[in-house]
Structure 1
Amino acid sequence: MATTVASDIDLDTYTHLPLQIDPASKTLSLHPSATGSSTADPSLQAALSTVNQLHSALKSLDTPNSIPPAPLPTNLPTQKRSAQISKLREAASTAYRKSQFAESIRLYTFAIDMAAGRPSWEPVALIREELSSLYRDRAQAHMGIRDWVEGCKDCEASVECKRPQGEKSKVWWRGGKCLLEMARYAEAAQWLERGLDAEPTLQGDDGRELRALLAEARRKADQFTASS
């Protein structure tokens, strides 16, 4: 039987329907007080019947009662990319130890591109840490083929990635060595001084090497100034 709905319903009028729900079956029905009133019309009864049938059909569905599986950890893509970057880093380091400097540079470059291509929602500190160490290590590979310019640029990039935390002494020594080899003595001295300022308590072999290189840079800078 079709239900006819009036087309001139006043949408601004609120009509309170005295509905009740059965505690056991959860079915909807009109409250007994509405029997015989204008609200107990066939269209309303048909609508209630439709809702109750839908509710009954949903209850009869064979749905599992087990707890849904836990969502995948949000850091899974981060871990996968980190593992890939680590593999590239290890391969690049192996190539460097074999004096295969061009191959080492190529692999470090792949790792740098992968680290720089991380999604923006990943931790910035992680990206900076990865890039800083990769640039620092690629600088050493550039030094292996005496490409002092690229080595110097990578050292600068490594330091910039780590600001404001500071970098390790290795990158300061490598950057200073590249500048010395390019006969940029005053810049080398300034660079190495920055390194010692960043790590004033540096001791051991790293500290001695950094200070020795700084002394060499200062001496050559003085000699260059005196001869010019």
Structure 2
Amino acid sequence: MSTIVDLRIHNDKVVCAQHKNEVCSECNQSFIEINDLTRHLHATNGQVPPPGAVLPLRSQQIAKMREDGNTHFRAQRHEEAIVAYTNAINIAFDRPLWEPTGLAREELAVLLCNRAAAYIARKEWINAYVDAEGAIELKRPWSKGHFRLGKALFGMGRYQEGIEALQLGLMFDPQSAEILKALKEAEVSLAAQEAAEE
């Protein structure tokens, strides 16, 4: 049985009339998607592109910020790299709903994986873990995401899980030198941990 919910516009957003919430637990309604669509349509000034159209300026901005992040990362300015990747992620997340989802998934997977590397360099293991999991969710058959996840797990002292993540990554790229090296290091660390516990 469906429920009728009174709506109203409040601060340019659709909300429940009774509680004025965009996400209302009392009415069990969420208007986030309709508000996102409305925001994107307003931005076009009535000129909605055909399905699958990509706005080149957004892609250029994302590519520029990703390259800025890569430059900072190579120079070991990891905090600046994280800021650049985060800015690019925010823009990629905000792609209009009519653009191909595959494009955003690819961009986000790479950006999250890159930011995970910067977090790993700063030993921010939980942030690295979250980003690596996100990258894998978006692009599962990609060895780089599993490599980053393994490194984050090692940093958290979860060696067995890290080894499993690396082994899964090897299934997608059996010749990956970085995964094979990390796997050897992890196995040595796991053996040392197990010996210390005996």
TM-score, structure 1 as length reference? 0.59
| Contact 2:68–2:81 under 8 Å retained in 1 | yes
* 2:153 equivalent to 1:184: no
Query: Number of matched residues?
Result: 150
Judged with a 3 Å threshold, the aligned counterparts in structure 2 of structure 1 residues 124 and 76 are, in CA distance, closer, same or farther, namely closer
Separation of aligned partners in 1, 2:127 and 2:112: 10
How is 1:13-24 mapped onto 2 (pairs within 5 angstroms)? Answer: none
Separation of aligned partners in 1, 2:76 and 2:192: 34
Q: Which residue of 2 aligns with 1:12?
A: none
How is 1:60-79 mapped onto 2 (pairs within 5 angstroms)? Answer: 74=50, 77-79=54-56
Separation of aligned partners in 1, 2:49 and 2:94: 20
Q: Secondary structure at the match of 2:95?
A: coil
Cα RMSD of the aligned pairs, angstroms, is: 2.2
Separation of aligned partners in 1, 2:78 and 2:157: 23
* 2:178 equivalent to 1:209: yes
Q: Which residue of 2 aligns with 1:20?
A: none
* 2:89 equivalent to 1:131: no
Q: Which residue of 1 aligns with 2:36?
A: none
How is 1:55-134 mapped onto 2 (pairs within 5 angstroms)? Answer: 74=50, 77-134=54-111
5+ long unaligned stretches in structure 2? 1-46
* 2:172 equivalent to 1:198: yes
Q: Which has the larger radius of gyration?
A: 1
5+ long unaligned stretches in structure 1? 1-70
Judged with a 3 Å threshold, the aligned counterparts in structure 2 of structure 1 residues 92 and 198 are, in CA distance, closer, same or farther, namely same
TM-score, structure 2 as length reference? 0.67
Task: Kindly state the Cα deviation for residue 136 of structure 1 after the two structures are TM-superposed.
Answer: 0.8
Q: Secondary structure at the match of 1:211?
A: helix
Structure 1 segments of 4 or more deviating over 3 A?
A: 71-77
Task: Kindly state the Cα deviation for residue 72 of structure 1 after the two structures are TM-superposed.
Answer: 9.7
* 2:152 equivalent to 1:175: no
Judged with a 3 Å threshold, the aligned counterparts in structure 2 of structure 1 residues 112 and 227 are, in CA distance, closer, same or farther, namely same
Q: Which residue of 1 aligns with 2:118?
A: 141
Task: Kindly state the Cα deviation for residue 189 of structure 1 after the two structures are TM-superposed.
Answer: 0.7
Q: Secondary structure at the match of 2:55?
A: helix
Letter in 2 for 1:143: I
How is 1:147-162 mapped onto 2 (pairs within 5 angstroms)? Answer: 147-162=124-139
Alpha-carbon displacement from aligned partner over 1:115-150 (angstroms, at most 9, x marks no partner): 011122111111110000000111111122221221
| Seq. identity, % | 37
Separation of aligned partners in 1, 2:177 and 2:79: 30
Judged with a 3 Å threshold, the aligned counterparts in structure 2 of structure 1 residues 96 and 215 are, in CA distance, closer, same or farther, namely closer
Judged with a 3 Å threshold, the aligned counterparts in structure 2 of structure 1 residues 126 and 77 are, in CA distance, closer, same or farther, namely closer
Task: Kindly state the Cα deviation for residue 226 of structure 1 after the two structures are TM-superposed.
Answer: 4.1
Separation of aligned partners in 2, 1:208 and 1:104: 24
